[in-house]
Structures are given as C-alpha cells and as structure tokens.
Amino acid sequence: MSKVSEIAKMIDHSILNPTLTDEDLKRECEVAKKYNVASVCVKPYAVKQAAALLEGSSVLVGTVIGFPAGNSAVEVKVFETETACRDGAVEIDMVINIGKALQEDWDYLRDEIKAVVDASHAHGAITKVIFETDYVTRDEHKIKLCEICSDCGADYVKTSTGFGFVKGQDGKYSYAGATAHDIALMRKHSAPHVKIKAAGGVRTLSDLLQLKELGISRCGATATATMLEEAKKIFSEE
C-alpha cells in the first residue's frame, strides 16, 4: 500500500453538516470513492442512500447515533443502531450521555455503551464511542471512559462530534475538537484492542500526521480532498 493510500484509509469522510442536501451527499460520496477513503460518516436517514451510492467500492458506510449531543434514551440509541445496521451501516459512531459523564454516573454509561456495542456487534458492525472532549474536559473522566469502553468491547474511542461548541460568558462559541493531549491520554488508557479516532478540528495533512504519530487509527475529516492532494504532492516527491 502506498503512503497516500495508507493515509486515505485512515480517513472517515464526514458528511454530517445539518445543511447538506441529498445532492451534497452524492457529491461527497463521489469524493470518498475518488480517494478510496476508509469510510463515509453520514446522517442516519442517509445510510441507505450512501450504501447504494458506494456499492461496488471499498468505502464503508458509517453513521452517528445520539448525535450530536448524546441526549437520547439508551433504548432510542439501540433502536437507531439497529435501524442503521439494517440500512447498511457497518460502522456506528455513538455519542455518550455527556451529563452522565460529568456527574460520574459510570453505571449508566457502562450500560449505555454496552447496549450500543452489543447491538452493533450483533449486526456485524463496529462501534466508536464519542466522548465529546470539549464538554468532558477532566482527564480523570476521559480515563474512566476509556476503561469502560475497553471493558464493554468498544472498537474505538473517539474525541469529538465536530459540533461540540462551547458557549462562553461573552456569548461567543469556541471549539477545540481533537487535541494531541487527549489523543495521547486515550491511547495510554485504552486497552490494546481499542483503536483511537480523532475528530473535530483536523483540517490539514500536518494535523493528521501529527495525531497518527500519537496513535490514531482513524480521523474524521471534511477537508479530505485537500489533505490527500497535499499527500500526493509530498509523497510522490520522496
């Protein structure tokens, strides 16, 4: 596998912006096919359409559960997961109940994560558990979530949704997304079988390669074409 192909197969091409239309979905699936990325991550209603658009390619279809705020009841998250899998999703990115993490209700989160993991695995899909690190900011909470995900059989732990905007006292919103600190922390405290996905704020090839050195296996991205065109230029010159 070439260096460019290796990088492409780290990317989950994100097609999640609320304003995107079906025409946008078609265009972005074509981008995913052109660059032969690992997967697309689409809105739940679009799973069937994405599966049809990508049929015959090696690009996998993933979707999001409890997105973006993680507020759905556990039973709803399980239903979303089962529906998505029946529609053709083979990768499930679930958002945890953020408030439960902040109040340290670990039993609730263990049950929630295990329920979605079990539902995914029953349909042959993998599960990525999103912590939303712009909200879950304390290292001890992130460490505990890594331990729970490891125990529950999650396939990945993931930093962010890309939509975890934090409103400051001045009324303005800020966002960090994936950081080197959080990636290193998650890699250190997750079991060896659990992979790491960075998402949110990874906009350049340099960003992706830096996080790859820290242990990520996947990266959510919207700037897929820009990053891979840059990779072609850099690695074709070596």
Q: Hey, how many other C-beta atoms are within 10 angstroms of the C-beta on 74?
A: 17
* b/e map 178-212, b = 16+ CB within 10 Å: bbeebbebbbebbeeebbbbbbbbbeebebbeebb
Catalytic residues: 93, 158, 197
Rounded distance between C-alpha atoms, residue 52 and residue 67, angstroms: 23
Phi-psi sector, 75: left (phi>0), alpha (psi -120 to 50), beta = alpha
Residue 110: exposure state from Cβ atoms within 10 A (0-12, 13-18, ≥19): middle
